[in-house]
Amino acid sequence: MRRTAPLLAAVILVLATLSACGGGSPGSSNSGPKKIDITFSGSSVTPNGEKVEVGVGQKIELHVKADAPGEIHVHSTPEQELQYDQGTTDLTLTIDKPGLVDVESHALEKTILQLEVR
């Protein structure tokens, strides 16, 4: 262990320095609502697995156009389920913790969005 301890210390030092340089960029939490269009048509949906950055607590507005009613599953903690109708539906949600949140249609077995919440 005599030689491994200084090695470990060096690694931690390098990491600490570099992660400090990397610095946290300020979140975009209070910069107005994030608007996202979602279109369901038959067995397809757009977007088809797209990454979207949002802030913690930022209002997210989903503008849903669909040819049949259904529901969207938001895999935040805790999970949220949002119903939409045939035609257009406006849904709003917020996410209160940082993380990666999948937005899915379970009926289509597809991931629509991946929200990167910072």
Partner 1 sequence: MSPLAQAGGLSLHGIGGAKDLPISPELAIAGAVAALTVSFTVLALAWRKPRYDEVERGRLTGIRAPLEVPAVVAVLRVFGVVVFLYAAVAGVLGKDLLTNPIFGMFYVWWWVGLPLLSVLLGPVWRAISPARTINLVFAKVSGGDQDRGLFDYPARLGYWPAALGLFAFVWMELVYPYSTELGSVRLWCSVYVALMLIGGALFGSSFYERGDPFEVYSTLAGKLSIWGSRDGRVVVRSPLAGLATVEAAPGLVGVVAVLFGSTAFDSFRDSIRWVSFVQGTDRSPYLMNNLGLLGFCLGVGVIFAIGTMASGVEPGFRRTTLPNLFAHSVVPIVIGYIVAHYLTFWFETGQQTLIQASDPLSDGSNYLGTGNWSVNYWLSLHPTLLADLKVVSVVTGHVLGVISAHDRAVKLLPKRHQLTGQLPLLFAMVAFTVGGLYLLFAA
* Interface contacts to partner 1, rule CB under 8 A: 1, 3-4, 7-8, 10-12, 14-16, 18-19, 21-22, 24, 48-51, 73, 75-79, 95, 97-102, 104, 106-107, 109-111, 114, 116-118
Q: Give the span between the Cα atoms of 30 and 98, in whole angstroms.
A: 15
Min dist. Cβ of residue 25 to partner 1 (A): 9
Look-up of token digits 């919440």: 117
Which burial class, exposed, middle or buried, applies to 93 when counting CB atoms under 10 A from its CB (0-12, 13-18, 19+)? middle
Q: Are 34 and 60 in contact (CB under 8 A)?
A: yes
Task: Give the CA distances from residue 22 to residues 17, 19, 52, 59, in Å, rounded to whole numbers and listed in that order.
Answer: 9, 5, 21, 27
Reduce the DSSP state of residue 72 to 3 states and report it.
strand
Min dist. Cβ of residue 89 to partner 1 (A): 19
